[in-house]
Chains A and B, each alone.
Chain A
Amino acid sequence: MAVKPSPKKTPMRELEIEERIKSFSEVALGYTEDEALVEAMRCLQCPSKPCVKGCPVGIDIPGFISKIKEKKFDEAAKILKKYNNLPAICGRVCPQENQCEAFCTVGKIPGSEPVAIGRLERFVADWEAENLVLTQESGPKKGKKVAVIGSGPAGLTAAADLAKLGYDVIVFETLHKPGGVLVYGIPEFRLPKVIVEREVKYVESLSVKILLNTPVGKSVTVEEILKEFDAVFIGVGAGTPKFLNISGTNLNGVYSANEFLTRINLMKAYLFPEYDTPVRKGQNVIVVGGGNVALDAARSALRLGAKQVTVVYRRTEQEMPARREEYIHAVEEGIKFRWLTQPLRYIGDEKGNLVGVECISMELGEPDESGRRRPIPIEDSRFVIEADMVIEAIGTEANRFLLSEFKDLKLNKYGYIVVDEETCATSLRKVFAGGDIVTGAATVIEAMGAGKRAAYWIDKFLQKEYDPW
C-alpha cells in the first residue's frame, strides 16, 4: 500500500442532517476497518511520543496505532485497556483537539491535521466490543475493601483499577443507572447509552459491585463507610446546577440544563409516553451558555421538534468553550447563535408560562482573570426575544448532598474537595477524591485520570507505602 498519506484526517461518516434532527441516533458513525488503516498510516510512530503527554491517562498512542497498522486489533485493544478502562467513551467525547491531538507531530506540519487519535481509539474499542471478550485477570485478592462513592467516570475508573489490583470494591450510586454524567448528561446522539452500559459491564466483570439507588450520607452513612472500608474514594461530580437568578427563573418553561438533559437521557423523556417522564417540547427555545452542555441542550431541544433554537452567549464565537466539532454539528443542524447577548429577565403570562426573554447586548472589554475579554453590557440595547422555553447551561457547582454529611472534610472556597494533586488524598485519613468534585466541571478523561491516580495511591496506602496523614 504505497498511497501517500493525506494531510487531512480521514473523514468520519456521519448521519445525514435530515435524519439527525428527527432522532436521537448517534451522529458520528465511526471508521470502517479500511478507513482506520488509512488513518493509522498517517502516524509517524515518533520515538519521543509527544502525543502521550497530552493524554491525561498516558495511553501508549503510537503503540496501539502500530497494532492497527498490523491489523492486530485485539492487541491494540489490549494496549488501550491497559491505560483506559472506558476507551469507547473517550474516543467519542474526549476534547482530543486540546489533548493528545494538540501534541501530535503530524499536526505541527503546516497545512496538516493531526492523526485522528480519538477516532482510532473509538474504532478499536468498538471492534473489540463486537469481536472479543477481553478477560482481564485480577491480581491475587488482597483481602481489603474499598468504597467508591459515585459511578461517574472517576468512580468507575478508580473501581476498575482497584479491582485489578485485587481489592474488593463496592461502588455506591444514588441514581438507578451507573455512569454519572455519561448517562444523565451527555445525549444519546453523541454517546449512545448502550456503549456506557457495555463499559460498565466490563468494570463489573472485574468483580466490582455496583449498588444503585444508594445515596451515601442517607441510606448509608459516612460513619458506616469509614468504619467498614479500608479506604474510600469520593467521585460524586459537580452536580448542582447554577442559575442566572434573574427575575422569572421559576416560570414554567425555564430549565437548568441538568434537568432538561436528565429528563431526556436518564429518564428517556424523548420516548414519552412509552416512558413515563414528560419534558416540555418548546417551539422557540433559547439556550443560555457557550459550552458543550449548552450545545447538547440546544441539539436535544431541536430533536424534540422545536421550530427555532437559539443559543445566546455573552461572548463571541472565538471565546466559546464548546468543542469545535460539536459547534459545527449544531450549525449544520440549524441552531442559531446570538453572540454578545445576555438575558436580563424572563417574561411570563398569567399562568406562569414563559413567553419571552429580555436580553441586553454586550461588548468585549479588557481581558478578565480567565484571560478572555470581559463582556460588558451596552446601555440602551435591551430587546425581547419570544420564547416558550429557556435552558440555562451556565455551569454547575459542588453538590452538597454528600459533602454536608462529610464533616471535617477540607473544602476550598468554592466548596470543592481539597486534595493532594498527585495522590488525590483528602484531609481525612484513608479518604481520597477525584473528578469534578475536586476540579469543578471538567472532562471525562480528566475525571478518569484522577480515578486512576487515586487507585494507584490507594494501593500504596493500603500496602503501607504511603501515608500523608
Chain B
Amino acid sequence: MLNQIVKKSKLAPGVYEFYVENPIIAAKAQPGQFVVVIPSEKGERVPLTIADAFDGNIRMVVKVVGKSTADLALKREGETLYGVVGPLGKPSEIKYYGNVLLVGGGVGIAAILPIAKALKALGNKVYAVLGGRSKDQVILKDELEQYVDEILVTTDDGSFGIKGVVTDGMDLILRKQRIDIAWAIGPTIMMKFCSLKAREYGLKIVVSLNPIMVDGTGMCGACRVTINGQIKFACVDGPEFDGTQVDWDELLKRLQQYQEQEKLAFEKFKQKVGDLSWL
C-alpha cells in the first residue's frame, strides 16, 4: 500500500531507519534528493533525505529532535504515512572525479550513502570520514564499507576511531592524499567547519543544506539561504551548494526561528504519549 512503512529498525538511540512503499518516488529518486513527509493529518511537512531506493521502496533515516520526528519514530511497521512527496531538489552531480572525500556526521552519514554508491559505480576512489558523538552514533559503517576505499571514524568521546571531530579526520586524509572534490553532510555547524577546512586546502566542497522548509517546491521562500551574496531557495536551487559560498551564520540563526514553539509542541506531545527518552 502506498506510503506504508514496510520495515523499521533502530540504528542508534534516537535514530530510526524506515523503508516506505512508494514505487513512483523509488523509480525516480537520485542521490542527493529528498522527500517531504507528512507524518499524520495534522502534521508538518518534514523534509528527509532519500538514503536509498529499490524494489518500490524508499529508505529514510530519521533522528528524533522534536515533535514531528518523534511522531515518526513512534510509527510502527504496517502503518501508513499521511503523505510523501518527492523526489525533490536537484540530484548530486555524479561523475568521474578521481579521488573523492565524503564526510558524514550523525544522520548525515545516511545521506552520503547513496552518493558513495553512485560515485563508486563510476570508478571514483572514495574516501570517507564518519563522525559521531560516540560509537553508537556512527551508523551504517559496515554498509558504507562496500563502496568506500578508505574509512576514518572520529568520535567526540573517543569511544570509536579517532578522538576528535570530522575536520581532524579530513586533515589526516588531506595531508597525505590528493582529493579532487569533497561532500560534507551532517549538522549545519559541522558542514560550516568542513567548508572552512576545505578552503584551507583549496578543495572544492559540496554541502547539503537543511534549512526550515514548508512546501519544498519553490513556492514559499522559507528555505532561502544566502549563497555568494545571493538569495537561493534550497528546495529547488539545492539542497546541495558549494560549501565555501554559504552564509553559515545566517543559516544557523534561521534554524532557531521557531525554537520556543518547537519546545512547546514537543513538551505537549510528551505529556500525551509519555516519556520518550527510550526512543
A residues adjacent to B (C-beta < 8 A): 174-176, 184, 212-215, 218-221, 239-241, 243, 245, 249-250, 252, 256, 258-259, 262-263, 267-268, 272-278, 280, 351-352, 399-401
Contacts and interface: CB of A to CB of B under 8 A. Distances in A.
Interface of B: 24-25, 28, 38, 42-45, 67-68, 71, 82-88, 214-215, 217-222, 224-226, 231, 233, 236, 247, 250, 253-254, 256-258, 261-262, 264-265, 268
Contacts of A243: 221, 224, 231
Contacts of B25: 219
Contacts of A400: 218, 236
Nearest to B262: A278
A263 B71 CA distance: 20
Contacts, number: 117
Nearest to B226: A250
Contacts of A401: 217-219, 236
Given A259-B214, A276-B43, A400-B236, A252 B253 contact: yes
14 contacts: A176-B45, A184-B219, A212-B83, A215-B86, A218-B86, A240-B221, A241-B219, A250-B226, A262-B219, A267-B44, A273-B261, A276-B67, A276-B71, A401-B219
Contacts of A240: 218-219, 221, 233
A276 B24 contact: no
A256 B220 contact: yes
A259 B84 CA distance: 20
A383 to B, nearest CB: 26
A195 B95 CA distance: 50
B85 A267 contact: no
A366 B13 CA distance: 67
Contacts of B220: 241, 256, 258-259, 262
B75 to A, nearest CB: 14
A400 B257 CA distance: 27
B257 to A, nearest CB: 5
A115 to B, nearest CB: 37
- Central interface residue in B24, B68, B82, B217, by most chain A CB within 10 Å: B217
B253 to A, nearest CB: 3
A176 B83 contact: yes
A103 B231 CA distance: 45
A252 B38 CA distance: 24
Overall SS of chain A's interface: loop
Contacts of A275: 42-43
A250 B85 contact: no
A409 B78 CA distance: 43
A274 B43 CA distance: 9
Nearest to B88: A218
Nearest to A212: B83
Contact of B261 (A241, A262, A272, A352): A272
B131 to A, nearest CB: 27
B218 A262 contact: no
A252 B254 contact: yes
Nearest to A252: B257
Contacts of B218: 239-240, 399-401
A258 B265 contact: no
A384 B119 CA distance: 53
Contacts of A221: 28
- Nearest first, the 6 A-B pairs at minimum CB distance are A352-B253, A278-B261, A259-B220, A276-B44, A256-B221, A278-B258
B253 A276 contact: no
B224 A274 contact: no
Contact of A176 (B24, B68, B85, B231): B85
A322 B213 CA distance: 29
Contacts of A213: 83-85
A220 B236 CA distance: 16
A176 B257 contact: no
Contact of B28 (A218, A274, A399): A218
Given A219-B86, A241-B221, 13 more contacts: A215-B85, A215-B86, A219-B85, A221-B28, A241-B220, A252-B257, A258-B220, A259-B222, A267-B45, A272-B261, A280-B258, A352-B254, A401-B218
A174 B262 contact: no
A315 to B, nearest CB: 24
A276 B257 contact: no
Given A174-B217, A175-B215, A256-B221, A273 B268 contact: yes
A175 B250 CA distance: 28
Contact of A262 (B68, B214, B231, B265): B214
Nearest to B22: A219
A262 B43 CA distance: 14
A174 B268 CA distance: 31
B253 A351 contact: yes
Contacts of B257: 252, 280
Given A221-B28, A250-B226, A273-B265, A176 B254 contact: no
A280 B24 CA distance: 35
A250 B254 contact: yes
A399 B38 CA distance: 23
A218 B87 contact: yes
Contact of B231 (A175, A215, A250, A263): A250
Contacts of A263: 214
Contacts of B67: 276
Contact of A272 (B45, B221, B265): B265
B262 to A, nearest CB: 7
